[in-house]
Amino acid sequence: AAFGKWHNTPDYETSAAGPFDRWPTGLGFEYFYGFLGGDTNQWSPALVENTQHIQKPNRPDYHLTPDLADHAIKWIRTQQAIAPDKPFFTYFATGATHAPHHAPKEWIDKYKGKFDRGWDKLREDIFARQLALGVIPADTKLTPRPAELPAWDSLTPTEQKVYARQAEVFAGFLSHTDAQIGRVIDAIDRLGELDNTLVFFIAGDNGASAEGGLTGSVNELKVFNGVAESPQEVLAALDDLGGPKTFNHFHAAWAWAVDSPFQWTKQIASHFGGTRNGLVVAWGDRIKNRGELRSQFHHVIDIAPTILEAVGIEEPEVVNGVKQQPIEGTSLVYSFDNPAVPSHHKTQYFEMLGNRGIYDEGWVAAARHGRLPWERVSKTTFDEDNWELYDITKDFSEANDLAKQNPDKLAQLQDLFLEEAKKYKVLPLDDRLLQRFDVKIRSNLITGRNSFTYYTSVAGIPEGSAPNIKNRSFSITADVDAASSGTEGVLVTQGGRFAGWSFFLQEGKPTFAYNLLNSDRTIIQSSQPIAIGKSQIKFDFTYDGGAPGAGGTGKLSIDDRQVAEGRIEQTVGYRFGLDETFDVGQDTGTPAVDTYQTPFAFTGNLQQVTLELK
């Protein structure tokens, strides 16, 4: 079974139309409970069970991580109760500590005041603990803060107050998650199977994420739409951080701090701050030396080969009649009982959004590309990127650049990167950011279609499979049959509290609400309700044109008679969400407007909804 974050299925394949071969249950798992997107709202997740989009449990204290743990524990207990001699495999991947940083307030408050001394001091403290624990070599150097990040002492008291709270929220989210993972481990222990269970525990987000930028964020969707947040907006949401009203992230400098002692952060895959995470392996007395460290170089692709070797399963050459590509990676089993043996994983490329790195037998060549994680575009071309060289057998944290002293070695590794990049289909390099979030450039089910009709209530259509109304004119027509003058509910909606729109009836009155990234909402509403019986309700939007995210004018009509008009000054240019969906006849996520509570299912007879792209 698989629980939690998946994010391996293409966006356009995650609707009820499938195909389902790249969902968890199509790739070997017999049961799945979790979410398919890159992230999800921990308070109101877009949940999937097997291949069905479902509503979250309806309870006031709901949070996703305990729910995932509950389902994992129940599944494991059920398997062992029915078939105690049958092995089980559980993949448990929480949403933490990926944004949004959502945690119960009591967990956040445990860290009140713990980060008041700032990120520079935190990084030094972490480094000192790493040395004391021996998890890094004694001669490791702490790399300096990049010039692009401010010193904590340069901030105003108000800024320090805001940013310290962001770190408290992150810490609360992390420790809350750790407790839920502990519950799953404890459940296996109570079954008497923990010593017989091979456990891999990896905690990290490819290095901590700096995507919150130089203020942190209360709505990460602004980052994905290239819209800046002001410190004033972040300050205004201080008391709500970590709760349902925010989709929050912390200041980039916190990511750098918790990536101690390395340079940089997530996205910057050229350096270890953007790739390196801790791994814990436990396996009862099958691993004789408990609590020891292993320093061989390995990569996450080595986990599957390790499992296969540990349980004695040969890698299949053919599956269902299809010849398989070889599984890349090197088993870790050889290191379990021998801390000194040289690493079997000799070479590894890294690449993300143009940031490039190559490891080869103790040497690393690294080229950071000219865009920081919170910036929209690169300041350099690939040919202008500066390559660095490190000998990590003597320089664990990549503190001493040897590129000028050893140009021949650097050139050798640059050539090796190109060989590996060609071999593993990394080329051509692509450093675009906002464009890659734009659903219209991806393969999808909507290419070439301008008319969409829905005949029944439909939930959970991902953005990649929904009509793309962004940056264009469109119309929505709903044919309804109202049994009473107070008929109400959602006709069609997309997105939610942090970006989106909704077309609905409230007390019988047709209403269109547009939510611009939770910063501004426009509501266009008829002053009169629809009549009892059959009606045709229509919303027409005329787009101004020009750059992405321009405004336009919306008009509401009932049976071809205009009843309201309004101006939407600015629209969402690239993305309404990563996991919020397009729904017909109900709203399965968070509401785009506060005038109703989800699911706000339509109470009349919704005969059909047609959306036309102009």
Q: CA torsion, points 525, 526, 529, 535, in degrees to nearest 10?
A: -100
At 11 the pLDDT is 84
Cα–Cα distance for residue pair 299/379, rounded to 1 Å: 30
Exposure of 188 in the CB half-sphere (CA atoms within 13 A)? 22
Does residue 87 lie in a domain region? no
- How much is the pLDDT for 307? 97
Residue 488 is predicted with a pLDDT of: 96
Residue 166 amino acid letter: Q
Beta-carbon-side half-sphere exposure of residue 535 (alpha carbons within 13 Å): 22
What is the reported pLDDT for 223?
A: 82
Residues 331 and 444 grouped into a single domain: no
What average pLDDT score do residues 462-481 get?
95
Q: Which amino acid is at 104?
A: P
pLDDT tens for each residue of 73-118? 999 999 999 999 999 999 999 999 999 999 999 999 999 999 999 9
d(CA 221, CA 141): 36
Specify the amino acid at residue 423: K
209, containing H or E segment: none
The answer to whether 5 and 35 are in contact (CB under 8 A) is yes
Do 324 and 452 have their domain in common?
no
Give the number of other CB atoms < 10 A from CB of residue 614: 12
- Helix axes of 118-133 and 157-190: crossing angle, nearest 10 degrees: 40
Residue 250 domain flag: no
Q: Give the per-residue pLDDT at 433.
A: 85
Strand partners, 522: 514
What confidence score (pLDDT) does residue 12 get? Answer: 85
DSSP code, position 567: E
In a domain, 219, yes or no: no
| Cβ neighbours of 129 (radius 10 Å) | 12
**pLDDT band of 381, cuts 50, 70, 90:** very high
What single DSSP character describes residue 386?
P
Query: Does residue 439 carry a pLDDT above 90?
Result: no
How far, in Å, CA of 515 to CA of 572, rounded? Answer: 9
Range of the domain at 332: 298-338
Which tens digits make up the pLDDT trace of 499-530? Answer: 999 999 999 999 999 999 999 999 999 999 99
Query: Whole-prediction pTM value?
Result: 0.94
Backbone angles phi, psi at 274, to 5 degrees: -105, 5
CA dist 354 and 457 (Å) reads 42
Please indicate, yes or no, if residue 505 is contained in any of the structural domains. Answer: yes
At 253 the pLDDT is: 98
* pLDDT tens digits, 272-303: 999 999 999 999 989 988 899 999 999 999 99
Is the pLDDT score of 359 beyond 90? yes
Chain-centroid distance of CA 300 in Å reads 18
Within this chain, do residues 456 and 328 fall inside the same structural domain, yes or no?
no
Q: Is the dihedral of CA 256, 261, 264, 266 positive or negative?
A: negative
Q: What does the pLDDT look like over 173-187, one tens digit per residue?
A: 999 999 999 999 999
Please compute Rg for the chain using Cα positions: 26
Q: Which of 323, 338, 353 is the last residue of a domain?
A: 338
Q: How far apart are the C-alpha atoms of 419 and 399, rounded to whole Å?
A: 26
- Give whole-number Cα distances, 75 to 31, 54, 79, 91, in Å: 9, 18, 6, 12
Helix or strand or coil: residue 614? coil
Q: Among 277, 308, 338, where does a domain finish?
A: 338
HSE at residue 282, side-chain half, CA atoms within 13 A, is: 15
Quote the CA–CA distance of 147 and 154 in Å, as a whole number: 13
Round to whole Å and give the CA distance between 4 and 47: 9
The pLDDT of residue 376: 85
Residue bearing tokens 């050893």: 406
pLDDT-derived band at 25 (thresholds 50, 70, 90) equals very high
Is the separation of the CB atoms in 516 and 572 below 8 Å? yes
Task: Using the predicted structure, report yes or no on whether residue 447 has a pLDDT greater than 90.
Answer: no
Do 596 and 485 sit in the same domain of this protein? yes
Q: How many C-beta neighbours within 10 Å does residue 461 have?
A: 23
- Assigned domain for 533 exists: yes
pLDDT value of position 612 = 98
Q: Tokens 């005041």 label which residue? A: 113
Contact 42, 56 (CB under 8 A): no
Give the list of residues 6+ apart from residue 68 with CB closer than 8 angstroms, or none: 3, 4, 33, 34, 92, 94, 180
Contact 574, 438 (CB under 8 A): yes
Rounded Cα distance between 113 and 124, Å, is 17
Task: Count Cβ atoms within 10 A of the Cβ of residue 370 and give its class: 0-12 exposed, 13-18 middle, 19 or more buried.
Answer: middle
Domain boundary at 283, 315, 338, which?
338
Q: How many CB atoms lie within 10 A of CB 521?
A: 15
Q: Is the pLDDT of residue 357 over 80?
A: yes
Q: pLDDT value at position 436?
A: 80
Tell me what the mean pLDDT of segment 224-241 comes to: 87
144 pLDDT above the threshold of 90: yes
* pLDDT grade for 150, boundaries at 50, 70 and 90: very high
The answer to whether position 10 is within a domain reads: no
For residues 97, 98, 102 and 108, what is the CA-based torsion angle, rounded to 10 degrees?
30
The runs of H, that is alpha helices, within 91-139 are: 105-109, 118-133
HEC letters along 496-563: ECCEEEEEEEECCEEEEEEEECCCEEEEEECCCCCCCEEEEEEEEEEECCCCCCCCEEEEEEECCEEE
Bigger pLDDT: 171 vs 225: 171
Which phi and psi (to 5°) does residue 207 adopt?
85, 155
Q: Is residue 328 within 8 Å of residue 301, measured between CB atoms? A: yes
With a cut of 80, say whether residue 437 has pLDDT above it: no
Share of the chain above pLDDT 90, in %: 87
The values of phi and psi at residue 331, to 5°, are: -60, 145
Gap between the terminal Cα atoms of the chain: 44
**Under 8 Å CB-to-CB from 314, ≥6 apart: which residues?**
308
Number of domains in the chain: 2
SS3 252: helix
Q: What is the DSSP string of 173-193?
A: HHHHHHHHHHHHHHHHHHTT-
Same domain, yes or no, for 331 and 468? no
User: Which one has a higher pLDDT value, 204 or 251?
Assistant: 251
Q: Which residue has the higher pLDDT, 38 or 260?
A: 260
Q: How high is the pLDDT of residue 329?
A: 96
Question: How far, in whole angstroms, is CA 89 from its chain's centroid?
Answer: 24
Length of the chain as a residue count: 614
- Domain assignment present for residue 494? The answer is yes
Shared domain for 459 and 332, answered yes or no, is no
Report if residue 222 sits inside a domain.
Answer: no
Between the CA of residue 376 and those of 347, 436, 479, what are the distances in Å?
Answer: 31, 11, 42
What residues contact 10, with CB distance under 8 A and at least 6 apart?
A: 22, 442, 443, 464
